[in-house]
Structure formats: structure tokens, C-alpha cells
Amino acid sequence: MTVRIVVLAKQVPDPETPPSQFKIDESTNSVIPANGVPPVVNGFDLNAVEAALRLRDSGADVEITVLSVGSDFVMDAMKKPLAMGADRLVLVDDAGLDKLDASATVKVLAAVIEKDGPFDLILGGRQASDWDQGHVALGLAEVLGLPLVSLVQKLEMDGASVSLQRVIPDGYQMITAPVPSILTITNELGEPRYPNLRGIMQASRKKPEILSLGDIGLTSDDLAPRLELKRLYVPESNRQVELIKGEDEADSGKKLALRLREEKLI
């Protein structure tokens, strides 16, 4: 029996962008794309792709669909999961979908999953590296009425259930979840595999399945935000540094202690 897995993936600004190129347009509360730095697939979502591929490596008959919502997709970036070994890439591409809040994103994902499903497992990264919120998988579980296990670092299929290791502060929990379920995969799973030449060539020949809002029965009016962003800005640093020098380490320490006492810090 084929296990159908959908992996949620998001196109995000490259987190390795140099800080000097990170700029905000405060008039629109948006990030200005860095010149010459293309976007990437969220790294945590690549952990989820890797988790699905490891299930296949273990001998399970797995079909892996990668699903993303946005606009102005860069195919060189979005095809990376295909190069890693995923079977399908489904993109919901329409104007403004890259600016949705979590609740609207959930509506779009749920509509696509209900149209394209059923799926046995829905995997996503623990969070997205642009906003670091991790709301989407939680909301999707609520809307679809499915159980959710977060921060999964290892999973194994066992018939009609899946055995999981869930990361906790002092170790991990062993959890058995039913199928279907939604899982968020943490980076403790390990590094995603690097696409080989054969995978890159195969991905170049695969065409993504592109859907519009109309294809899934939604309109822009259905996606009114529930989160209002008041202000987006880069905090200014006004720290001042004072160097305390002495004749030797002991003298420097003494002068530092006296200075801290003057400031009533000790």
C-alpha cells in the first residue's frame, strides 16, 4: 500500500543574507528583497522532506508531494525538494499569497489538501525561518480535525500508525500517532541530504502543478487577515562601550569593579 505524504514548504529570504543587505520598507511593513540574493526553501521544511525520504529509504512505498503557497516563486529554489527525491511539487501561486498571515495560509493549504488528498501524513518544519512563529501546522491540524505531534526527530511507519520520537528539553518522548496525522519535524532529525546529479537532472524535467485561488474554490475575500502588523522595523543599537585599562590584570579588575559600583550595577 502506498503511503501518501504531503510536505509543507515555504519560500523564504535566504537566512544567510548579510545583515548589511537586510532592509525594511516601513511604509509597507515589508522586507525589501536583497539584491542578488535569491530566496530559498525554508530549511526546517527541508528537514521534513528528509524525514519523508527516510521513510522511503526504510522500505515503505511512499509518494511525496511538496505543497507551497505564495507568489513569484523562484523555481531553482522550489525544485530542490524534487532534486532530493520528492515526487510532486504543487504550488498555489496567486497575487498577494506571499503576504498571508498564518490563518489565511491555513485556509489555502486545507483547501488544497482536501482537493488533492487524502494524505496519510502531513509533514512540515518546526517553524519558518522568516517569522519563526510555527503557527501554520497547528492551525491546519485544527481545521482538518487531525492529531498533531510537534518537534519530531525520528519517525517509523507501523501499519496504521506511526512511531515517533519527540524532542523535549531533557531528552525525547516516544509517541505512537494514528494515520492520518500532522507532524512538525525538528532540525534534530539531522541534515537534509544534498541533491545528487541524477536527482537534479530528474527535477529539471518535472513540471510543478500550479494552482490559482479559483482552482481551489477560494477568493481573496476569503483570506482576510486575522493578524494586524502594526510596525516592522530594524531596532537601532545605541550601546556605548567603555574600555577599562589598568597596569595589569589585577589593576584592571579593581578599576572595573569600582566603575560598576559607580553605576550601581554591583
What pLDDT digit, counting tens, does each position of 41-98 carry?
999 999 999 999 999 999 999 999 999 999 999 999 999 999 999 999 999 999 999 9
Average pLDDT of 2-16?
95
Query: Is the domain 3-223 a CATH 3.40.50.620 member?
Result: yes
Cα dist from 237 to 15, 179, 240, whole Å? 21, 49, 9
> What does the alpha-carbon distance between residue 6 and residue 151 come to, in Å, rounded to a whole number?
17
| pTM metric for this prediction | 0.87
Confidence category of residue 265, pLDDT binned at 50, 70, 90? confident
Cα dist from 146 to 41, 142, 149, 191, 197, whole Å? 25, 7, 10, 28, 37
Average pLDDT of 202-213?
96
What's the pLDDT tens digit per position in 228-262? 889 998 888 777 888 888 889 999 999 999 989 99
158 has pLDDT over 90: no
Cα dist from 74 to 18, 38, 68, 108, 238, whole Å? 20, 8, 12, 20, 38
User: What pLDDT does residue 108 have?
Assistant: 98
